[in-house]
Amino acid sequence: MQKILILSLSLAIFLVFACGGNQYPSGARVYKATCANCHLDDGAGLGALIPPLANSDYLIKHRDQLACIVRYGLADTILVNGIRYQEQMAGIPNLSEVQITNVLNYIGSNWGNKVPAFRLEEVRASLQSCNSLPTQDTKTKQ
């Protein structure tokens, strides 16, 4: 009995690794459903229109704003990897705090990003201070 248990357990672990399962499967689902249309499946973005999420310095520099951007979108000009992006992004108001945490972790741990993991409490706190967002890299800097 114990043998079978160990065997099936190791098989399960093997499968997770073999299938390239990432750490954040639910974040991956949210990403595919709500982000990938614009930021694309590989987080590459599109020219100077849609900023990349892959290898993005913005994720590190503006960590505390990310949850707010997901929920409420963005109307500011932002600087990502040295390139200026001015298109508006629509927010995704129907995502829960948990979903936002998951999707940020999925993005932050993929495509060359090494963003330390987000915890639900952190995301919740960020979301509560969304209105007092500093408008960084805005047009005033141009």
Distance CA 110, CA 23 (A): 10
Q: Is 11 in the site for other proteins (CB under 8 A)?
A: no
For residue 135, the cross-strand partners are: none
Q: Verify binding: residue 79, other proteins, rule CB under 8 A.
A: no
How far is the C-alpha of 38 from the C-alpha of 26, rounded, in Å? Answer: 19
Measured CA to CA, the distance from residue 77 to residue 61 in angstroms comes to: 15
- The window from 19-27, 37-45, 54-62, 132-140 that contacts other proteins (CB under 8 A) reads 37-45
Q: Which of 9, 48, 117, 120 binds other proteins (CB under 8 A)?
A: 48
- CA 134/CA 140 separation, integer angstroms: 13
127 binds other proteins (CB under 8 A): no
- C-beta closer to other proteins: residue 39 or 62: 39
In the complex, the residues that contact other proteins under the rule CB under 8 A are 36-40, 44, 46-50, 88, 90
